[in-house]
Amino acid sequence: MVAHSKSSGVGPELALAAEFPEPTHEQWQAQVQKVLQRSGLIGEHPAGPVEDVLATTTYDGITVHPLYTAGAGEPGVPGLAPFVRGSRAQGNVAEGWDVRQRHEHPDAAEANREILADLYNGVSSLWLRLGRGGLAVEDLADALEGVHLDMIGVALDAGADFTAAAEAFLALADEQGVRGSALRGNLGADPLGWQARTGQPGDRAGAVALAERCTAFPELKALVVDGLPYHGAGGSDAQELGCSLAAATTYLRWLTEAGLDVDTAAGLLEFRYAATADQFLTIAKLRAARRLWEQVTRSCGAAEQARGQVQHAVTSPAMLTRRDPWVNMLRTTIASFAAGVGGAQAVTTLPFDAAIGLPDAFARRIARNTQALLLEESHLAQVIDPAGGSYYVESLTDELAKAAWAWFQRIEAAGGLPAALESGLISSELAATWEQRRTAIAHRRDAITGVSEFPNLDEAPLERETAPEQPGGGLPVHRYAEDFERLRDAADAQPSRPTVFLATLGPLAAHNARASFARNLFAAGGIECTDAGATESTEDVLAAYAGAPVVCLCSSDKVYAERAAETAEALKRAGAQQMLLAGKPSEIDGVDGFVFAGCDALAVLTDVHDQLGVRR
């Protein structure tokens, strides 16, 4: 295809690149093959397409290719079925998405101060945790002192206490004289979410009764379909989508069996999804979710205008770290970006210290300003579905929707979500995905910056007020960094920093790359490294050795062949108990193990902790 540039004045048309032939996919493949062969990743005669070497696979088994040259069909337009490009024709262009911040401080006065600070500085709606794990329901009015409920949306999250929380909220609105048509937000009934989190059955009758009452408030949702319990248990994107779709389908059944028509029932639901630092998967997930919900509601006979999905995206709690928590600002920025581009109507950016305890004022400010920047400076909401038309995003949306639909059908075949939760189907499948993810994290294929990669041993731990304990007993709640952070905690609790000696062989140019790699790996376990510096002989290494039980040889393969075995044996005679080598496994006398890119770093660090006597 030839690009043309037309001048606004007189003169001939300028044809850009017209003198160049159109490149082909085969030419690109040939260029890739040359690069991969020079790097040693493929041989002279590759067995399949050369780009397959660069492909990766998601936890849903979706292959992500390095180049896409075609999409997956026509995604439609915003506001019309299948709603892939957005549930509303106007998207978020008019006013931006809803900036919704979470509040869970158990003290009503402090919660009120935080709420007002957020509202005065750009937040447009509130997400309130009430009951167990948050503010007492009876303190709701005090926490919302000074909040005009006809101007601010409120999403309640009260677990098993959703009926009492809704009654308190509606009573407060009545006291303020707020018209029912002015109330917006969500009353937060989610019996299946409660079952997923606690293992206890939720209040179906209460949820149905609340939904029936909520029909008098056109902008107020009664039920939330929360995907976070499945995401937090380690689930994949398709598993989160399939579980939420099964929950929503169950809620539709309950409400229509109680006498509500399907259009009304569908309009009482709001969906909550996790937004992660994998921006493309997050964008595709939100787009796929709308397509899937349209498919379900269309099958149920809903009118087209009732099939659009209302989405609340929350930056993933699972991706947040307690170590080097400042990096969480970057993670949540990317996730919030993806949530906005993906078309969520409401976005919650969790504060960077949310994994440590109750966020402080600075963390809350950064969280809300993240969204302010995306909306007011990056202008993300000015274009509806800006990722639409991308070959990659369209293909990923399609494949993710198919994977989620297959999982949804398995849940339905098992009797629906309540039965699948009770039977253990959900927990076993999520646990299997978590183990895959955990293995990838342990091998650092899934890097966690500041934790498994580039950790800061000198960081001062942040201290925060302890957050209320959340109800549990059902699906587990994981954070991706938890295994590495346990090792860091154990190392930091020792009287002195655990230390490994890097036996650097040869000049700096020979050993620096592998010594830097080893230093970074050991720091992920809270282990400090000392090194011998540039050395010319085994005697130079021994002169720098101070008796550390664990030693790691670091140099080039050429120097290893000349000096590794001799140095390893000499260091063991000098007191070294474990001899590691930075490099791919090979036969070298005196070496007990190897550290290399792709090794099980968690297992290596655990073993080194044991050798150094670190208690866990």
The string of pLDDT tens digits covering residues 210-236 is: 999 999 999 999 999 999 999 999 999
Q: How far is CA 219 from CA 82, 293, 404, in A?
A: 22, 20, 29
At 394, is the pLDDT very low, low, confident or very high (cuts 50, 70, 90)?
very high
Residue in 455, 479, 62 with CA at minimum distance from that of residue 276: 479
| 270 phi/psi in degrees, rounded to 5 | -125, 140
* 23 pLDDT tier (thresholds 50, 70, 90): confident
pLDDT attached to residue 11: 61
DSSP state, residue 504? E
d(CA 404, CA 297): 16
Element (H, E) at 115: helix 108-120
pLDDT in tens, 403-429: 999 999 999 999 999 999 999 999 999
Tens of pLDDT along 468-505?
Answer: 999 999 999 999 999 999 999 999 999 999 999 999 99
- How much is the mean pLDDT over the chain? 95
Q: Mind listing the domains of the chain with CATH numbers?
A: 3-54 (1.10.196), 98-412 (3.20.20.240), 491-612 (3.40.50.280)
**Beta carbons of 151 and 398 less than 8 angstroms apart:** no
Confidence of residue 41 (pLDDT cuts 50, 70, 90): confident
**pLDDT value for 559:** 97
DSSP calls for 507-544: SHHHHHHHHHHHHHHHHTTT-EEEE--SBSSHHHHHHH
- Which are the contacts of 39, defined by CB distance < 8 A and separation ≥ 6? none
The H-or-E segment that residue 559 falls in is helix 557-559
Contact in structure between 316 and 231 (CB atoms under 8 Å): yes
Question: Distance of alpha carbon 519 from its chain centroid, rounded?
Answer: 27
Q: Which is nearest to 473 in space by CA: 417, 515, 418, 421?
A: 421
Task: Give 13's pLDDT tier (boundaries 50, 70, 90).
Answer: confident
| CB-neighbour burial class of residue 191 (10 A; exposed 0-12, middle 13-18, buried 19+) | buried
The predicted structure's pLDDT at residue 12: 66
Question: pLDDT value at position 5?
Answer: 44
* pLDDT beyond 90 at 437: yes
Give the pLDDT of residue 49: 86
Name the band, by pLDDT with cuts 50, 70 and 90, for residue 4: very low
Secondary structure letter of residue 548 according to DSSP: -
Which pLDDT score is estimated for 118?
A: 98
8-state DSSP, 275: E
Q: What's the burial of 262, exposed, middle or buried (CB within 10 Å: 0-12/13-18/19+)?
A: middle
pLDDT at 72: 78
pLDDT at 609: 98
Question: Rounded mean pLDDT of 135-147?
Answer: 97
Region 181-206: what's the mean pLDDT? 97
CB crowding 285-298: b at 16 or more within 10 Å, else e? bbbbbbbbbbbbbe
Q: For the segment 87-123, what is each residue's pLDDT rounded down to a tens digit?
A: 999 999 989 999 999 999 999 999 999 999 999 999 9
Angle at 441 between CA 580 and CA 287, to 5 degrees: 160
* Dihedral of alpha carbons 333, 335, 341, 345, sign: negative
DSSP-derived letter for residue 595 is: E
Name which of 29, 27, 71 is nearest 53 in CA terms.
Answer: 29
Q: Give whole-number Cα distances, 344 to 11, 380, 477, in Å.
A: 47, 12, 24
Coil vs helix vs strand at 329 = helix
Distance between CA atoms of residues 350 and 334, nearest Å:
12
Residues 554, 515 contacting (CB under 8 angstroms)? yes
Give yes or no for a contact between 218 and 181, defined as CB atoms under 8 angstroms apart.
yes
Using CA atoms, how far residue 458 sits from 166, 362, 455, in Å, is: 47, 22, 9
**Conformation bin of residue 159: beta by default, left when phi > 0, alpha when psi is -120 to 50:** left
Nearest 5°: CA angle at 198, between 237 and 170? Answer: 90
- Examine the pLDDT at 6 and tell me if it is beyond 70: no
Percentage of the residues of the chain whose pLDDT score is greater than 90: 89
What is d(CA 418, CA 201) in angstroms, rounded to the nearest whole number?
8
pLDDT tens sequence across 521-530: 999 999 999 9
- Beta-carbon-side half-sphere exposure of residue 140 (alpha carbons within 13 Å): 26
- As a whole number, mean pLDDT of residues 162-177 equals 98
Who's near 206: CB < 8 A, 6+ residues apart? 162, 163, 189, 191
